[in-house]
Amino acid sequence: MTHYRLAMLGFGNVGKSLARLLLAKEQEIASERGLTFSVTGIYTSRHGCALDPAGIDLRKALEAASISELSKLPPASDGMDFVRRVPADVLFENSPVNYDSGQPAVDHIRTALSLGMHAVTANKGPVVHAHRILTDLARAQGKKFYFESAVMDGCPIFSLFRETLPAARLLRFRGVLNSTTNMILSRMEAGDSFETAVAYCQEIGIAETDPSGDIDGWDAAVKVTALANVLMDAELKPQQVIREGIRRLGPGEVLEAKSQNKRWKLVCSAERSGRARSHTPVIARVSPELVGPESPLYRAEGTTSIVQFETDVLGQLTILEENPGPHTTAYGCLADFLNAVSL
Ligand SMILES: NC(=O)c1ccc[n+]([C@@H]2O[C@H](COP(=O)([O-])OP(=O)(O)OC[C@H]3O[C@@H](n4cnc5c(N)ncnc54)[C@H](OP(=O)(O)O)[C@@H]3O)[C@@H](O)[C@H]2O)c1
């Protein structure tokens, strides 16, 4: 049996779902993979911090109002202090995304890798702003920086290209990657006003109080950037994505499209030309498009995400993920951990 000590920075929707999944899969992972683990540190910004080299009781952590009561060591003063002090082999970085700079998650991950930990994150910020530098650092350290859940909530995208498609060149992709806007469009097709559809998304917890990051296409632009930078060696910033959100679409446009057997989708795409592996311009775009039943994107209903990849060797490859959520995001983190220590 090999034992791994895990550190969880961020214990919100994703962190807690990951804790539940670790508990549910503990026996199976031990018997099938010869691997055991303990969580030696949990950090939150307002709900305490627990450090215990002997392992924290995850069931108690999930129930505690403040996890500090479970700590055997003085709590960390901030996220960086936590990363420096936690005795761990793997860091799960699941703090909120910072679209502008990726911080402080970039520094958390850089420090963890420098200290000899693997780093796993669902946070898009470090992928968009520092994917190359963190991947190079991980390689130099003989560790892994994996981020499967940063796009499409745990669905295998990055690992698909990394592990199973050697020598495949990604030429372009098209997809529906933002669940809030897709749900708003689906609800308007069912008769909601724009405002009622937004309120519904807030009620079920997929839209923030200020939903403009989704509605104006920023979240989608960040996801396109992450896919293009990692899978196409692009060096894009989200601001370079040609971007239009869904504000100009109301029930009138959506129902008119429906009467013609078409649907409006906020389509995310990127494309490159030329044959050189690097330094090839990548044009990325987020914009509303009318799609008909002949397109796989037509099927993406509500929170479902879909992406169509076109490679030079396989032609079109489409991945559809139905009803993602923190539980699927948590699975992506678990898969990253197991792949990081097994491959
Ligand atoms: N929710 C999903 O299904 C999903 C899907 C894909 C990707 N993601 C990404 O996964 C990450 C976590 O999402 P979530 O839904 O779990 O968020 P969340 O529920 O808001 O939890 C965030 C956690 O990070 C802590 N935190 C806040 N500010 C911090 C800081 N500056 N340094 C360290 N920790 C800090 C919070 O502390 P408190 O508990 O004290 O507030 C909380 O424990 C985000 O980057 C998100 O974009 C989420």
Candidate from 21, 44, 91 with most ligand 1 atoms within 8 A of CB, to mutate? 44
Quick check: CB of 179 below 6 Å from ligand 1? Answer: no
Using a 10 angstrom Cβ sphere, with 0-12 exposed, 13-18 middle and 19 or more buried, the burial of residue 68 is middle
Q: What is the DSSP secondary-structure string of 170-234?
A: EEEEEEE--HHHHHHHHHHHTT--HHHHHHHHHHTTSS-SSTHHHHTTHHHHHHHHHHHHHHS--
**pLDDT higher than 70, residue 104:** yes
Average pLDDT, the chain: 95
pLDDT score of 212: 95
Residue 262 bears catalytic tag: no
Candidate from 21, 42, 95, 111 with most ligand 1 atoms within 8 A of CB, to mutate? 95
How confident is the model over 152-179, as pLDDT tens digits?
999 999 999 999 999 999 999 999 999 9
CB 126 within 8 A of CB 147: yes
Report the alpha-carbon distance of residue 212 to residue 177 in Å, rounded: 16
| pLDDT, mean of residues 332-341 | 98
How confident is the model over 256-315, as pLDDT tens digits?
999 999 999 999 999 987 655 555 689 999 999 999 999 999 999 999 999 999 999 998
Q: What is the DSSP secondary-structure string of 120-158?
A: EE--HHHHHHHHHHHHHHHHHHT--EE-GGGTTTT-SSH
pLDDT score of 222: 96
Report the alpha-carbon distance of residue 219 to residue 202 in Å, rounded: 16
**pLDDT higher than 90, residue 83:** yes
Percent of the chain, pLDDT > 70? 97
pLDDT score of 280: 66
CB 340 within 8 A of CB 89: no
Enter the DSSP assignment of 238.
G
pLDDT score of 32: 96
Report the alpha-carbon distance of residue 340 to residue 98 in Å, rounded: 25
CB 192 within 8 A of CB 265: no
Percent of the chain, pLDDT > 90? 93
Quick check: CB of 213 below 6 Å from ligand 1? Answer: no
